[in-house]
Amino acid sequence: METAVENVTPSTNDLLSAYLTREELAAVLKRDVRTIDRWNQKRVGPPRTMIGRMILYRKESVLTWLAEHEGKGASRRKAK
């Protein structure tokens, strides 16, 4: 017999659906996993969550990180 709590408890897939793995993030950004790791070491990549040895990136945080980096390349140009 199931309890009410069991009926509302999300499955693991539901919980993790808001996250990307390192490999998934690398594929979405068309980068190598080593690049994602290097960004983390330099503290320039999107924020990550670690559960044991599992590294996850919240999709919403990745979108925020991308928006924060929008147009940064143009600001480095010198005016003539």
Q: Cα-flanking dihedrals φ and ψ of residue 49, to 5°? A: -120, 135
**47 touches 61 (CB < 8 A):** yes
Which regions in the chain score pLDDT beneath 70?
1-10, 12, 72-80
pLDDT for the residue numbered 23: 97
Q: Tell me the C-alpha to C-alpha distance, in Å, between residue 32 and each of 27, 29, 35, 79.
A: 8, 9, 5, 34
pLDDT for the residue numbered 76: 56
Give the C-alpha separation, 12 to 54, whole Å: 14
pLDDT for the residue numbered 68: 93
Q: What confidence tens digit (pLDDT) does each residue in 5-17 have? A: 555 566 767 889 9
pLDDT for the residue numbered 14: 85
pLDDT for the residue numbered 15: 84
Domains and CATH numbers, the chain: 17-69 (1.10.10.10)
